[in-house]
Structure 1
Amino acid sequence: MDNPAVASPIDIDDLREPQIRLYGLSNADGVYTFYHDETNNIRRLHINAGRLNVAELSVFVLGGLVHEGGPRPIELQALREAMRIQKSAGEIKLQHVAKGGFLDVLGSRKLTTFLQWIAGSELTIHYHQLDPLYWSIVDIIDSILPNLGDPGLFPYHVLLKSDLAMVLRCDIGATVHLFHAYGYPGLAPEGRKPFLQQLVELVDYHKAVLPTDNAMILRSVLRAGRSLKSLDFIEGYPSNLLIEEFSTFYLGRIALFKNSSHVFDMEDNIRGLLLKSPLTSNGRPVTSFRFADSKHEPGIQLSDVVVGVLGKMHSYFTHTERDEVAEDRAALNEVGLENAVLLRDLISRSHKTNIGFLNHVANMHDLDKLNLFLRFLDGIYA
């Protein structure tokens, strides 16, 4: 169905080339078939009457499975039988594998069967993960750092964003109240200095969550920002609208792997947003993506399980302190340990196949928890 409100075309090469250069993605021109599903898509994130429009922030994940070459049949009957999924179930979904939080899911023997089947296939996982709080606050640092005239701070830009996210996460209620009071991310010029001053005070109040040096550097950067003549990315924008919509992340995957086929689960909202602006490459229409009913797409069914598990895993890291993550890892039973190893190996295989398959918009401290829990063999997050 055509969307009547068609906007100007988008050249996907303008989107992909900066990513390729920034991250050194050498295999983005490869030909793959991606199957995508999503979890924790809250549509938009905004503040209304001093409260977020969602009760709890969970990590958004867009991803699933990918294989080399063009589309081909994926046979699921053997997997359905191994997992003892009833014939009355029209499709495989996470609820057929496990229920509950991440640790509950990790203890499922059916998950073991599923992950072993993926590991033994020619399929690889891929995903884009986004912490909505982190994504909502990175523009604070990006508005300050380039204008301070201190190139020595640039290597710390990701750490500064991560540290600020950790501070603001300590008391979400206070953070939302502060944002609402100043119309963030649409600050008025007169709100620039007091907004940053209140951020400094929050850093002082919650400094125990950061190493001493980290807190000092973050504090000094925020203080220095008070003297700037503008904060380019957080002034003049709609007040209290933190995330307008999520179609940009779909678009990013299509653009980066423009020579590949992309099959998305049918999401009318996302489909409508993408159809508003025709996609082009070298002046030609981009036709490499489509939306499909998961009941007729085995790749999407498998992707539902993949993103469901990954969404629970990354949300667990954002809501759980590092020490508790370590304790939970040490307390895993035999099934949980086996599934943790299987997950680790699938993520490592994905990274080895193509580093563009994995994309994390999250603070460094949560990625450290990922490595702490899954224990990648090279000692760092793959």
Structure 2
Amino acid sequence: MIELNEIRIWEGVIIVDYTELVKAISELHNVPKMDKEYELYYDETNNSRIFRLTDEGFNFNEKAYFLLGGLAFEKGKLPSKESLESLVEKLRVQQNSTEIKFKHIQQKAKFFLELISKKRVRDFIEWLYDNKCWVHYSYRDNFYYSIVDIIDSLEESSFGGFEFNRELKSTLYDCIAKDKDWFIQLMIYFDYPNVKDHNQFIGEILKWFDRINPDGYDFNIEYLRQSMKSHRKDILIFLEGNTDRVMIENYADIYRNSILTFYNSVHVFDEELEIQKKLDENTIEVFGKEVSYEFVKSDNSIFVQLSDLIVGILRMWMGLLESHSIFDLKEIFLNLTATQKQTIIQFQSLMYNSLLENWGFKHGSGSDQFEEKINYFMEYNF
């Protein structure tokens, strides 16, 4: 557990110094140029408010990843007013509309390939590409995020370092995906993640491991089985003291992580009252300086509006990746129309150039399998 550097109260305001956490982010993830001054604009999608279990399953589609992201610029280097006016003219559906929404360019497209065939989407991506804009985003696979506490409760999972820990999480996630209905019922029965009978919970998982890996051929599953077996009479520390069946109470931590990752930057979020209330519970300070962020109504910021378009495109792009294997993606990419291919090349270049500027512009909590799909897309020669 990373300790915060200092918590103090000044004139009734709680000030939290996150300097040590920022240093840890820098050291652990090697994020470059964290102190550079950017202007970051945000919108979000797939916000379930709370992600929890019901008697039937989840209260929200677990395949719909939460996504926070938008546009990034070097401070003071925004696109020209003339360029923005030209874009708005192309994208606006009605002359009297007060703002641009993703639905205006989506035009009822249900899938990513259908989306990038729409003229307004093609015009928007081309504008981003021509203006050398940067895209930043953070995503969370809610189900993956919910089950990794099982791994992190086992001290043996850290013996092989960060990468092995991730590998074990992805192995468990992959196994669960193949037997999801059974595992969800297990979670419901034990009021996961607030397990009361840890011995019985571990016993059920051990029997499941025996069923899916009877000969012990899969090293990672066998490693997890032996590790859990050694904890048969222990408490899984991250699976107690929680609220029954509530995996994610809110997404404020993703907002906070974005603010801390670029602590010298200006952060402008679309208005989200519950998140703002959580963040405003204390003043965020790094290296003795208060970090700048604000929440605004989207109709007051063209760049927040454009971030809504970006996040909508990213959501459908992730939907494509999530629902297909790499083999399927290869077939899909081989059969693009000329128009789709031109737009997807610009979109790929936009994403690639953003990571060239700062690969801290991408942050995700998801399985290795999903990250492999992102990498496959980024490296594909269209």
TM-score grouping bracket, smaller chain normalisation: 0.7 to 0.9
How do 1:270-309 residues align onto structure 2 when only pairs under 5 Å count?
Answer: 270-286=275-291, 288-309=292-313
TM-score by length of 2: 0.86
Show the counterpart of 1:3. none
Question: Is 2:132–2:350's contact at 8 Å kept on the other side of the alignment?
Answer: no
Q: Any idea what SS the aligned residue of 1:226 has?
A: helix
How do 1:7-86 residues align onto structure 2 when only pairs under 5 Å count?
Answer: 8-70=14-76, 75=81, 76-83=84-91, 85-86=93-94
Distance in 1 separating the partners of 2:199 and 2:335: 47
Residue 58 of structure 2 aligns with an amino acid whose one-letter code is L
Alignment match of 2:140 (pick from 106, 116, 130): 130
**1:369 Cα deviation (Å)?**
1.9
Residue 298 of structure 1 aligns with an amino acid whose one-letter code is I
Residue 278 of structure 1 aligns with an amino acid whose one-letter code is T
**1:206 Cα deviation (Å)?**
6.0
Distance in 2 separating the partners of 1:101 and 1:34: 27
**1:284 Cα deviation (Å)?**
4.8
Question: Is 2:34–2:262's contact at 8 Å kept on the other side of the alignment?
Answer: yes
Could you say if the C-alpha distance between residues 36 and 74 of structure 1 is closer, same or farther in structure 2, counting changes exceeding 3 Å? farther
How do 1:220-369 residues align onto structure 2 when only pairs under 5 Å count?
Answer: 220-228=223-231, 229-286=234-291, 288-369=292-373
Distance in 2 separating the partners of 1:137 and 1:77: 46
How do 1:154-169 residues align onto structure 2 when only pairs under 5 Å count?
Answer: 155-169=163-177
| Residues 207-226 of structure 1: per-residue CA shift (max 9 Å, x gap) | 7xxxx96x431233133223
Could you say if the C-alpha distance between residues 363 and 9 of structure 1 is closer, same or farther in structure 2, counting changes exceeding 3 Å? same
With 194-203 and 9-18 compared, the bigger mean Cα shift is at: 194-203
Distance in 2 separating the partners of 1:259 and 1:241: 34
**1:184 Cα deviation (Å)?**
1.6
Could you say if the C-alpha distance between residues 309 and 204 of structure 1 is closer, same or farther in structure 2, counting changes exceeding 3 Å? farther
Question: Is 1:31–1:69's contact at 8 Å kept on the other side of the alignment?
Answer: yes
Distance in 1 separating the partners of 2:175 and 2:98: 45
Q: Any idea what SS the aligned residue of 2:33 has?
A: coil
Q: Report the identity percentage.
A: 28
Question: Is 1:28–1:257's contact at 8 Å kept on the other side of the alignment?
Answer: yes
Residue 312 of structure 2 aligns with an amino acid whose one-letter code is G
Residue 117 (structure 2) pairs with residue 111 (structure 1)? no
Could you say if the C-alpha distance between residues 164 and 65 of structure 1 is closer, same or farther in structure 2, counting changes exceeding 3 Å? same
Question: Is 1:254–1:289's contact at 8 Å kept on the other side of the alignment?
Answer: yes
Distance in 2 separating the partners of 1:348 and 1:308: 18
Q: Any idea what SS the aligned residue of 1:86 has?
A: coil
- Unmatched tracts of structure 1, length 5 or more: 1-5
How do 1:93-112 residues align onto structure 2 when only pairs under 5 Å count?
Answer: 93-98=101-106, 99-112=109-122
| Residues 28-54 of structure 1: per-residue CA shift (max 9 Å, x gap) | 000010001101111111112242112
**1:133 Cα deviation (Å)?**
0.9
Distance in 1 separating the partners of 2:375 and 2:140: 17
Question: Is 2:91–2:100's contact at 8 Å kept on the other side of the alignment?
Answer: no
Q: Any idea what SS the aligned residue of 1:339 has?
A: helix
Could you say if the C-alpha distance between residues 205 and 297 of structure 1 is closer, same or farther in structure 2, counting changes exceeding 3 Å? farther
TM-score by length of 1: 0.86
Question: Is 2:283–2:290's contact at 8 Å kept on the other side of the alignment?
Answer: yes
Residue 340 of structure 2 aligns with an amino acid whose one-letter code is G
Question: Is 2:13–2:283's contact at 8 Å kept on the other side of the alignment?
Answer: yes
Show the counterpart of 1:192. 198
With 86-95 and 68-77 compared, the bigger mean Cα shift is at: 68-77
With 104-113 and 177-186 compared, the bigger mean Cα shift is at: 104-113
Could you say if the C-alpha distance between residues 103 and 223 of structure 1 is closer, same or farther in structure 2, counting changes exceeding 3 Å? farther
What's the Cα RMSD here? Answer: 2.7
**1:363 Cα deviation (Å)?**
0.8
**1:204 Cα deviation (Å)?**
6.0
Question: Is 2:133–2:350's contact at 8 Å kept on the other side of the alignment?
Answer: no
Question: Is 2:209–2:225's contact at 8 Å kept on the other side of the alignment?
Answer: no
Distance in 2 separating the partners of 1:343 and 1:274: 32
Residue 137 (structure 2) pairs with residue 121 (structure 1)? no
